[in-house]
Structure 1
Amino acid sequence: MHFFKYLCVLLMPIVALAIPAPAARPEPDALAAVTSAAELANNPALLHAALLRARQDAGGPLGGIGDLLGDLVGSIGEIAKLLNPETFQAIQTLLRNGAALLDDEGTKTAKNLVTNANNLLTPEFVDQTKGLIGDIAPGNIFVSSLVLWLS
């Protein structure tokens, strides 16, 4: 059951990136027959016909779902190329290793590690460490030069 959740999460970015951008649609010319605003205001039937045509050209209340479905079908074809045994094996390996890392003991260990690092890395400790590194740096250059000279 969890496999399908993870599979959906893994496939969502692929689907989102595989959908091509829709082509620019020309503006509907619903009022081409109307020569003036006065003519449109005086003729309710003409106004109704123009608005109906504009709505139909814009895809109606669904907003051009046919184009969206066409893009989706094209994207599914691209995704189908990725659905091969190697991909499923890689996903299975990823999920198994992730599950091993995210078990109760692994989660506790990671939490303890972060807590200990947070307790250790105080501003005083960081300043002391910077000072020690600064004091050792000239000697480190000498040791590096000596090692290079001996080799």
Structure 2
Amino acid sequence: MKTGVAIAVIVVLIILAFVGGFVAYKQGDAAGYQTGYAKGTQDGEKTGYTNGYNDGEAKGNADGQKTGYDEGYNKGQQDAHQSYASGEQAGEQEGYNKGYNQGWYNGWSYGWRDGWWAGCTNCWQQCGPLVTGGDTGQHASGPSEAWMPSAPTPPPPQK
């Protein structure tokens, strides 16, 4: 009977070892799963946020650098709520207004200020002593405003 008891004790110990091992396995598996899930979730959110932020910033910068006529013209094509015709019309109007305003500015700068007035002043500086007869010790430093035409007044800019 001693042998039977010894065998029974050994069988019970083996069963307890298997049960204890299984319980330890389940606890380790649960703890590992929870730790891994939490870490994976945290890392995934961080990576997703960083990638999304960087991609969004790059796309925003690329899209934000369009200007002038292209911006106005392409606005209609890029905006899903506007038709192609309305975008073309907005771009054409913006380009026309910018060209109109720049044309008047260039006309004033190059035609009047740098053209006529610069030529008149240069002529006066070169020919003034000849016109005054050269008998005066000093002549006027510039042309008389009495015969100078008034500067053209540009119309108000287009908006």
Global fold match (TM > 0.5): no
- Pair member with larger Rg: 2
- The structure whose RCO (Cα within 8 Å, separation 6+) is larger is 1
TM-score where L is the length of structure 2: 0.27
TM-score normalised to structure 1 length:
0.28
